[in-house]
Structure 1
């Protein structure tokens, strides 16, 4: 990873997978210039769902979250790039699709809070990225490589 790079966790939720949006969502991040360093098509089990949503365990909507995230396959990813977490969050939009601007993933593909297509690590939560990446990926499942177009994406690319 170069000096300005950061890794961030993103997941296309079961509704996004069922609606065949994985390719479109991947393309958006690729076109923006982010680099996928890990990807996994998988079924989340109860245990992983409970860990992933642990912070919401006491809330009334917790069981619904767990039921939904385990209801079908997801596509988990790790993306890398300058300020990646904030860049991804701005592309994803607000938690509630109704408040998300057109052009964002949720603003284009979502109508309902409980079916908001995608999860992305929160840039305001310090350890969210590393915690979520390590929940879904082992270190050896993440690939370090140079993008051939890096000099066209970053002004100060030093290689």
Structure 2
């Protein structure tokens, strides 16, 4: 069974769509193996977004991600990483496929409701940060 990290970002929590998002994963034969709700510390966010440090959007991203509660999920199943990325949709909600989480609930590239690990290496690293 593959495992990946999903974060329901502060905008998703504020929209009160946590259950809807989780259902979208479960409806696609994925399983929620663990979950927790936290307001992430700067330490967690700095570790998680280390590859973006110094980029023009970094400070805005850090401010947004620490602005409220985040739901961290360990999602498991066959091809979990690819399935989650498909269900999430493109990073930019404007170009995401119809029916994806980001198309349905996201507003821009930062406030796009969810994060999913990009690949197996990132999933292992990110799961260790959050769990």
Taking structure 2 as the reference length, the TM-score comes to 0.97
Query: What corresponds to 1:104 in structure 2?
Result: 100
**Within 2, Cα distance between the matches of 1:114 and 1:51?**
18
For residues 69-95 of structure 1, what are the alpha-carbon distances to aligned partners after superposition, in whole Å with 9 as ceiling and x for unaligned? 000000000111001000110000000
**Within 2, Cα distance between the matches of 1:87 and 1:39?**
18
User: Runs of 4+ in structure 1 displaced over 2 angstroms?
Assistant: none
Count of residue pairs the alignment pairs up: 131
1:130 pairs, out of 102, 124, 130, with: 124
**Within 2, Cα distance between the matches of 1:45 and 1:8?**
21
Whose radius of gyration is greater, 1 or 2? 1
Do residues 77 (structure 1) and 73 (structure 2) align?
yes
**Within 1, Cα distance between the matches of 2:105 and 2:43?**
29
2:109 pairs, out of 113, 131, 156, with: 113
**Within 1, Cα distance between the matches of 2:127 and 2:35?**
11
**Within 2, Cα distance between the matches of 1:61 and 1:127?**
23
CA RMSD of aligned residues (A): 0.9
Gaps of 5+ in 2: none
Question: What SS class does the counterpart of residue 32 from structure 1 fall into?
Answer: coil
For residues 1-26 of structure 1, what are the alpha-carbon distances to aligned partners after superposition, in whole Å with 9 as ceiling and x for unaligned? xxxx1001000000000010101001
Taking structure 1 as the reference length, the TM-score comes to 0.80
**Within 1, Cα distance between the matches of 2:60 and 2:84?**
25
| Per-residue deviation, 1:114 | 2.0
1:12 pairs, out of 1, 8, 13, with: 8
